[in-house]
Chain A
Amino acid sequence: MNNGVDFAVIDRILDRHGAQASNVIAILQDIQGEYRYLPREIFPYLARKLQMSAAKIYSVATFYENFSLEPKGKYVIKICDGTACHVRKSIPILEKMRETLGLSSQKITTDDMLFTVETVSCLGACGLAPACTVNDKVYPSMTPEKAVELLDELKKEGTAC
C-alpha cells in the first residue's frame, strides 16, 4: 500500500542530494518536509537507492528527535518547555492546547490531521518566553488565552482551504 507517497518526488529529492548513504539525513529531512513525517514505504525504497539497510535508515530516523514516523497535522505546534519558558509558565499553555484539541502526551495529533502539539526543549527564543512555534513561525509571550485564540484562527484558515 502506498499512502499517497509519490516516488517521483522521492526521486527528485534523491537527485538533488545525490543518492548516497552519506546524504541520508538531508534526504530524510526533505522527505519529511514534503510529507510532514517519514512514511514507512520510503524505507525499503531508500534502502535500495542508497545501498544501505532499512534497519540503518530506521536507526538514523529514530536517533533524531526531529524525525517523525507518525503522520503529523497540518499545523505542527511546538511549545517551548526550556528553562526560561518553563518558569514563565509554558505548561499551562500546553495543557490548555491539549484540553482544547482533546490531545495528550500520547496522542499528539488530532483526528482531522489539522493539529499536532508537542514540546521542545528550547527554541532559542528565551527573550520571548513563553514561546511556541506553528510550522516554524514563532509566537512570543503566549498565554493560555492567546493559545485558544491562535487555535481558532488556525482552524478557520486550515478548513477554509
Chain B
Amino acid sequence: MSAFMMVDNIPVPIHGEENILAVIRKAGIQLPTFCYYSELSVYGACRMCMVEDKRGNIQAACSTPPREGMEIYTNTPRLRKYRKNVLELLLASHCRDCTTCEKSGKCKLQELAHQFGIRDIRFGDGQVEHERDESSVCISRDNAKCILCGDCVRMCEEIQGVGAIDFSGRGARMKVMPAFDEPIASSACVGCGQCAAVCPTGAIVVKNDTQKMWEELSDPHTKCVVQIAPAVRVGISREMGLGEGENAMGKVTAALRRLGFDEVYDTTTGADLTVLEEANELSERLAKGENLPLFTSCCPAWVQFVEKHYPELMHHVSTCRSPMEMFGAVLKEQLKPSTRRIVSVAIMPCTAKKFEVQRDEFKRNGVPDVDYAITTQELISMIRQAGIVFDDLEPESVDMPFGVSTGAGVIFGVTGGVTEAVIRRLSDDKSTTALRAIAFNGVRGMEGVKHTEVEIGGKKVRIAIVSGLNNARPLMDRILEGHKDYDFIEVMACPGGCVSGAGQPFGTKADKARRGEGLYQADRMSPIKRSEENYAVTSLYDGVLKGRVHELLHVEYGK
C-alpha cells in the first residue's frame, strides 16, 4: 500500500510530492497562492496556502513536505479569516484602480480578493504613488503594485539565469529593482518577459501597443500587412473558448482581416527562409570548422542574452535574421510598389520581439522592416475590443503569394523545432521514414536541455537544444573554457520554446506542452514538410532576394 495523507478527511496518496500543496491540488482543491510555481524554488512568502492540522497548528502548504498519516484541513474558519487578513493587508498599500490597470481581469490579487469576498479594507486608503519604469520596450514596471512575492526575481534568476532584478532594502522599504534602481532597459534584462508572465499583479506587465495599432489600422493612407507566428495559433485557443493547444490559425487569420489588416501572412514563410539560410551557414561553418558551435538566432531574448552576458561568444550566433525579420524585409520589398504607407505587423508570442523590431540593425533608411510586434494577448484584447465573436468566425486561409507553408516552419514555435527543420533540410536521406525518424532522435520534448547527433554528409554533427536561458549558461561556460562539445546549439529563451512566450496567455507547464503538441499536429497535417520544397519561398531567390540575400536575410549585430 502506498503512503497517503488525509486532506479534509479524504485520503490522498503521496507519490513523491515535495510539498503538501501538490498533494492537496491532486485532491482537487485549488489552494490560493501568489508565490508558488512548481518550476521555481519555494519561497513561502505570501501565506495564502496555509493549512491547519488537527491540533490547530497552521503551516504553509508550499513549504511543508508531506508525511504518511498527516491530517490537514484546508478550509477552516481560522484559515478563512487568516487568508482574508492577508489579502486585506496586501491591499492596504496596494493601488486599487483596477479598472484602469493593464492586468485587470488577469490579476491574481484581484481574483483572490473577489474570490474571498473582500468588500472592505480596514487599513489604508489604497492611494499610492506610482513608481513606474517605462525604460524597456518590452515590459513596464510599477513598484506600487508589487506584493513582494518574489516570483519575478526567482523566474529571472533561476529559470532565465539573467538576474536583472532582485529585492533591495528590507522590511517596509523592501522593493524589487535592478542594482542601484537603474532603468530595467540598461540592466542585465534581455526582455524575455517571463517576469511579467508570473507576476500575479500589475507590477510587471508587457508593454501594450494596441492603441498605436488601432491608429495605423484606421489610417486611410496605410496598408497594414500582418504575419502570424507559429506559437500564436496554438497559444490563443483556450482563451478564445477552444481547447488548449488547438490550432486556431484559420480563425486568427479571419479575425485579423476583420480587424482591418489588408494582407495576412504566416511567419512560417520566414521560418522556411531561416531554415534554408541557417542550414547553409551550418554547412559552411562545418566545412571550414569555423565559429562552431553555431548558435541559432531566432530568439531575440537569447541574442540579447549573448550580447549582454557572453559578448565574447557573439561570433557563434548565426548571422541569419529571425524568421520574423527575414519575412519583414521580404514583405517590405515585395510591397514597395504600393501607393500607401506599408505598416508591417507581426503577431508574436513574445515580448522580446518588441525590442527586436526597433533594433537599428533591422532598419533600412531609418524604416524598420517590421513596424510593430503585437503579442497574442494584445491580439486577444483587440479582438474583444472590436466585438468579434471568435466562436462564430469561419476559418480563412492566408494570402498569396505566401499562402504555402510547411511543417518545418510551423514547428519553430516549440523547443527543438528549428533543429528538426534544419535536420530535415540537411539530412541526406530524404525518405518519409527518415523524416519520421528525426522526430524520435531526441529533438522533441519540453526538457530544458536535449542532445542529439545526426550524420550530415558523412559527418557526425553534435547538437544541443536548450530552452530556459539558465540552461544555456553551463554550455556557454564550457565553450569559454575551450571545450568543443557541440556543433550546433539551438536556444530559445522561454522554457519549452515560443509556445511558452511571455506574450501568450498564462499557461501551466502542461498547457504549454499541449500547445507544442498542437504544432506537431499542424506539421503532420501539412502537405509539405521540408522548407526547400516550399516553392513560394524558393522562388523568392529569383525574385526580390536576387543578389540581396545578405542584405535582406542576414544581420550583423552591433553594426
Q: Is B163 an interface residue (CB 8 A)?
A: yes
Measuring CB to CB, which residues of chain B are less than 8 angstroms from any residue of chain A? 157, 162-170, 177-180, 187-188
The answer to whether A54 and B179 have CB atoms under 8 Å apart is: yes
What 6 A-B pairs come out closest when comparing CB atoms? Answer: A53-B163, A58-B179, A55-B166, A59-B166, A54-B179, A62-B168
Q: How far is the CB of B164 from chain A (nearest CB, A)?
A: 6
Q: How far is the CB of A40 from chain B (nearest CB, A)?
A: 6
- In the bound complex, how far is the Cα of B163 from the Cα of A56, in angstroms? 7
The answer to whether A63 and B187 have CB atoms under 8 Å apart is: no
Which residues of the other chain, A, contact B165 by a CB distance below 8 angstroms? 55
The answer to whether A55 and B163 have CB atoms under 8 Å apart is: yes
The answer to whether B188 and A63 have CB atoms under 8 Å apart is: no
Q: How far is the CB of B167 from chain A (nearest CB, A)?
A: 5
Which residues of the other chain, A, contact B163 by a CB distance below 8 angstroms? 52-56
Which residues of the other chain, A, contact B177 by a CB distance below 8 angstroms? 55
Chain A residues touching B, majority SS: helix
Given contacts A53-B163, A53-B166, contact A58 B180 (CB under 8 A): yes
The answer to whether A55 and B170 have CB atoms under 8 Å apart is: no
Which residues of the other chain, B, contact A63 by a CB distance below 8 angstroms? 167, 169-170
Q: How far is the CB of A127 from chain B (nearest CB, A)?
A: 30
Chain A contact patch, size range = 10 to 19
Q: Is A57 an interface residue (CB 8 A)?
A: yes
The answer to whether B188 and A62 have CB atoms under 8 Å apart is: no
Q: How far is the CB of A48 from chain B (nearest CB, A)?
A: 10
Q: Is A139 an interface residue (CB 8 A)?
A: no
Subset of 9 A-B contacts with CB under 8 Å: A43-B179, A43-B180, A53-B166, A55-B164, A55-B165, A56-B166, A58-B166, A58-B180, A62-B169
The answer to whether A55 and B188 have CB atoms under 8 Å apart is: yes
- In the bound complex, how far is the Cα of B163 from the Cα of A57, in angstroms? 10
- In the bound complex, how far is the Cα of B168 from the Cα of A54, in angstroms? 11
Which residues of the other chain, B, contact A40 by a CB distance below 8 angstroms? 180
- In the bound complex, how far is the Cα of B169 from the Cα of A55, in angstroms? 12
Max chain B CB contacts within 10 Å: which of A52, A57, A62?
A62
Max chain B CB contacts within 10 Å: which of A52, A56, A58?
A58
Q: A53-B164, A54-B178, A55-B178 are in contact. List 5 more A-B contacts (CB 8 A).
A: A53-B163, A55-B166, A59-B167, A62-B169, A63-B169
Which residues of the other chain, B, contact A62 by a CB distance below 8 angstroms? 168-170
Which residues of the other chain, B, contact A43 by a CB distance below 8 angstroms? 179-180
- In the bound complex, how far is the Cα of B162 from the Cα of A56, in angstroms? 11
- In the bound complex, how far is the Cα of B177 from the Cα of A62, in angstroms? 12
The answer to whether B169 and A54 have CB atoms under 8 Å apart is: no
Which residues of the other chain, A, contact B157 by a CB distance below 8 angstroms? 53, 56
CB-based nearest B residue for A53: B163
The answer to whether A57 and B169 have CB atoms under 8 Å apart is: no
Q: How far is the CB of B168 from chain A (nearest CB, A)?
A: 4
CB-based nearest A residue for B169: A62
Within 8 A of B (CB), among A23-62: 40, 43, 52-59, 62
- In the bound complex, how far is the Cα of B187 from the Cα of A55, in angstroms? 9
Q: How far is the CB of A60 from chain B (nearest CB, A)?
A: 9
The answer to whether B188 and A59 have CB atoms under 8 Å apart is: no
Q: How far is the CB of B189 from chain A (nearest CB, A)?
A: 10
Q: How far is the CB of A125 from chain B (nearest CB, A)?
A: 26
- In the bound complex, how far is the Cα of B179 from the Cα of A40, in angstroms? 10
The answer to whether A53 and B168 have CB atoms under 8 Å apart is: no
Q: How far is the CB of B296 from chain A (nearest CB, A)?
A: 25
Q: How far is the CB of B122 from chain A (nearest CB, A)?
A: 30
- In the bound complex, how far is the Cα of B188 from the Cα of A43, in angstroms? 13
Q: How far is the CB of A99 from chain B (nearest CB, A)?
A: 28
Q: How far is the CB of A54 from chain B (nearest CB, A)?
A: 4
CB-based nearest A residue for B168: A62
- In the bound complex, how far is the Cα of B266 from the Cα of A134, in angstroms? 71
- In the bound complex, how far is the Cα of B526 from the Cα of A160, in angstroms? 85
The answer to whether A59 and B168 have CB atoms under 8 Å apart is: yes
- In the bound complex, how far is the Cα of B180 from the Cα of A101, in angstroms? 29
Which residues of the other chain, B, contact A54 by a CB distance below 8 angstroms? 163, 178-179, 188
CB-based nearest B residue for A48: B309
